[in-house]
Amino acid sequence: MAGSRGLRNQRLIRPLSHSPSSWHVFFFTFACSVSSLLLLFWDYHGQLHSFLSPSLKMWKDKMLRNDAAPVSVELDMNSNCKIYQDVHRLLHYPEESKIAIYFNKERNCAQPQLIGRLSGRALTTITWETSYYNIPDDDEEEEEAEETEVSNLVPATETHHDNNINETKDVLLGHYRVPQSGTYFLEIIAIMCEDLQYDAEFTGTCLVDPNQHRLTQDGVFINAMMTPPPPSTQHDTSNIIGYWWHHDGGVELNETLIPLYTRYQPQGCRSDSTLYHCSLASDLTRFDNYQFKFSTAQYDDDQLSTILEGKIDKICIEGASHARMLRGHMAAVLANLNSRGVHVAELDFANETRFASDFDEAKINFIIAKNCSKVIVTTGQWDAGWPNDRPTLFPEYEQILNKTIPLMLKMFTAANIQVYHVSTHYNPIGDIIGSCPPKDWRSPRVIDMYNTIEKRVCDEYGMPWIDTNDIMGIMWDRAADWCHYDDVSSDMEAKYILGRTFTP
Ligand SMILES: *[C@@H]1O[C@H](CO)[C@@H](O)[C@H](O)[C@H]1NC(C)=O
Ligand SMILES: *[C@@H]1O[C@H](CO)[C@@H](O)[C@H](O)[C@H]1NC(C)=O
Ligand SMILES: *[C@@H]1O[C@H](CO)[C@@H](O)[C@H](O)[C@H]1NC(C)=O
Ligand SMILES: *[C@@H]1O[C@H](CO)[C@@H](O)[C@H](O)[C@H]1NC(C)=O
Ligand SMILES: *[C@@H]1O[C@H](CO)[C@@H](O)[C@H](O)[C@H]1NC(C)=O
């Protein structure tokens, strides 16, 4: 038994290699570890040099010398992280494309909400399971260095009456899928200490201080293997829309793997964003190396042009500032595609739709009078944002959509207008989202719940809900003004929406 589990458990060393680069390259190492900051030297020509050994190459050679990939690899944790004391160990299971977090039963944060991002040849996210596992007793008694295989873990819900199960750890599993095998930088951050329930009164719920939210140590890299996508069925929407790829496609070959740390706005940086710690945390160039490629050709320029050819349509994108942003980018995309017959209507500031509840009969009639053939509805930003000094709570949001979605469907359909709802964007951790208590609630967990509700209500009434999170969510921290994606993300979102709304 124990022999079959003779795992080569390896402590991952931290390669943070640097090579002279002509691009604007920054390494971002947040204040989780002051000592690590000493390893970073800012060069005013726009490069941040890092001197850490051993190099990635040495590490790769070491990996290659192994006969087989290790079953599990221990990953270093950041001792300054808010939940560091809560976590016993962090493991990567390369062959299963899984990350396991062994939480202590006794902990401060009962159910930390995590965001994991891999960056290398492409960007990908870690999908966390919602329930924990326990470790079977016989495994626990083994040496510390030996580790439980993922397949031996037992769902925590099944262990209540089983005395053989050692319940000293709660194991959380996260899954990822990379589009190409290779070395990836891994960052896991904890954004909330507890789960956010549907009936939660979360107005006072603070995010984990972003200065202390990173669980992984600086420069943790993993070797990730490509796994085939899950079998897809007809109308399957589980397949990812596409990936943000590193522009030179092979950072690994070149040994300039640039860690993509989560961007945020530390407190006090609104008034002086030029302070060193402000610009380090909020610099935007970290995203420059990635460009989005759709998984299917349907959304590429040639095919979009073909799909739009001969169409005469006027598209109304309804909402507030995020709708205006999308409208601008869609207009640019259409111009670039030389579309003659398809236009996006101007958004009239005085009559924009801010709260979801604003989509009442008068507003819908007002939109109908614009003579659009397609209406794209966006909601959620004002509801979860600062304007009311409180967020629209989840049941209330659902009650509102329960009224407005069927009403829109009925009225727009009667006017021969196709209507679609687009998913709500996350906002990065700007100062008012990251303050405690928050003054704005558009953080990923809240928006995830809004999107769950939107999808549920849209499905219920038959309004298409277009989920653009594969495009926007993985780069959620990119919005330059901490809210709006006035960058290439919105171009990609516009293309995807065009493809979805013009494909039968
Ligand atoms: C669980 O395992 C730990 C470490 O091996 C041990 O100290 C503890 O007594 C075990 N608890 C139970 C209930 O078996
Ligand atoms: C990385 O690749 C570029 C282009 O191929 C090359 O010019 C550069 O020297 C390479 N860097 C290293 C460290 O090999
Ligand atoms: C549109 O805006 C104008 C100017 O503010 C206002 O008078 C009008 O009532 C608005 N219409 C709707 C349907 O909101
Ligand atoms: C909508 O169409 C009607 C009838 O064709 C026309 O009278 C009206 O001016 C149009 N409105 C707009 C905003 O284009
Ligand atoms: C929304 O409508 C559905 C279906 O009618 C209902 O089951 C659900 O309870 C409603 N939700 C709220 C929050 O009112």
Domain ranges of the chain: 3-229+238-254, 296-502
pLDDT grade, residue 227 (50/70/90)? confident
Q: Is 140 in the pocket of ligand 1 (CB under 6 A)?
A: yes
* Between 137 and 125, residue with greater pLDDT: 125
The whole-number average pLDDT for the span 335-360 is: 94
pLDDT at 17 over 80: no
Q: Tell me how far the alpha carbon of residue 384 lies from the centroid of ligand 2, in angstroms.
A: 45
Alpha helices in 4-161 (DSSP H): 34-37, 56-65, 137-140
pTM of the predicted model as reported, rounded to 2 decimal places: 0.82
In DSSP terms, 184 is beta-bridged to 222
The mean pLDDT of the chain is 83
Structure tokens of 27?
A: 């390494």
Backbone angles phi, psi at 294, to 5 degrees: -70, 150
| Cα–Cα distance measured from residue 216 to residue 231, given in angstroms and rounded to the nearest whole number | 32
Ligand 3 cavity residues, CB under 6 Å:
350-351, 362-363, 366
pLDDT at 271 over 90: no
Amino acid at 502: F
Structure tokens of 318?
A: 């309804």
pLDDT at residue number 21: 34
Structure tokens of 323?
A: 């709708």
Cis peptide before 54 (omega within 30 of 0): yes
| Cα–Cα distance measured from residue 386 to residue 143, given in angstroms and rounded to the nearest whole number | 51
Residue that the structure tokens 């006017």 belong to? 415
The whole-number average pLDDT for the span 377-405 is: 98
pLDDT at residue number 149: 81
Q: Tell me how far the alpha carbon of residue 426 lies from the centroid of ligand 3, in angstroms.
A: 29
pLDDT at residue number 164: 52
CA dihedral 20, 24, 30, 33 (to 10 degrees): 20
The whole-number average pLDDT for the span 315-342 is: 96
Ligand 4 atom at minimal distance to the Cα of residue 370: 13
Q: Is 152 in the pocket of ligand 2 (CB under 6 A)?
A: no
pLDDT at 143 over 50: no
Least confident of 8-22, 247-261, 406-420: 8-22
pLDDT at 426 over 60: yes
Q: Which of 367, 371, 373, 375 to probe ligand 4 with, by most ligand atoms within 8 A of CB? A: 371
| Cα–Cα distance measured from residue 458 to residue 453, given in angstroms and rounded to the nearest whole number | 8
Least confident of 9-23, 79-93, 264-278: 9-23
Ligand 3 atom at minimal distance to the Cα of residue 363: 13
| Cα–Cα distance measured from residue 262 to residue 29, given in angstroms and rounded to the nearest whole number | 10
Q: Answer yes or no: are the C-beta atoms of 217 and 261 closer than 8 Å.
A: no
* Between 442 and 19, residue with greater pLDDT: 442
* Between 435 and 246, residue with greater pLDDT: 435
Q: Which CATH superfamily is domain 296-502 in?
A: SGNH hydrolase (3.40.50.1110)
pLDDT at 374 over 50: yes
Condensed to tens digits (0 to 9), the pLDDT of residues 38-93 reads 333 332 222 333 333 334 444 444 444 444 557 899 999 999 999 999 999 999 99
Question: Mapping DSSP to helix (H, G, I), strand (E, B) and coil, where does residue 431 land?
Answer: helix
The whole-number average pLDDT for the span 376-401 is: 98
pLDDT at residue number 38: 33
Percent of residues, the chain, with pLDDT higher than 70 = 78
Q: Which of 60, 254, 255 to probe ligand 2 with, by most ligand atoms within 8 A of CB? A: 254
| Cα–Cα distance measured from residue 491 to residue 494, given in angstroms and rounded to the nearest whole number | 5
Tell me which residue of 96, 197, 106, 210 sits closest to 153, measured CA to CA. 96
Structure tokens of 443?
A: 């953080």
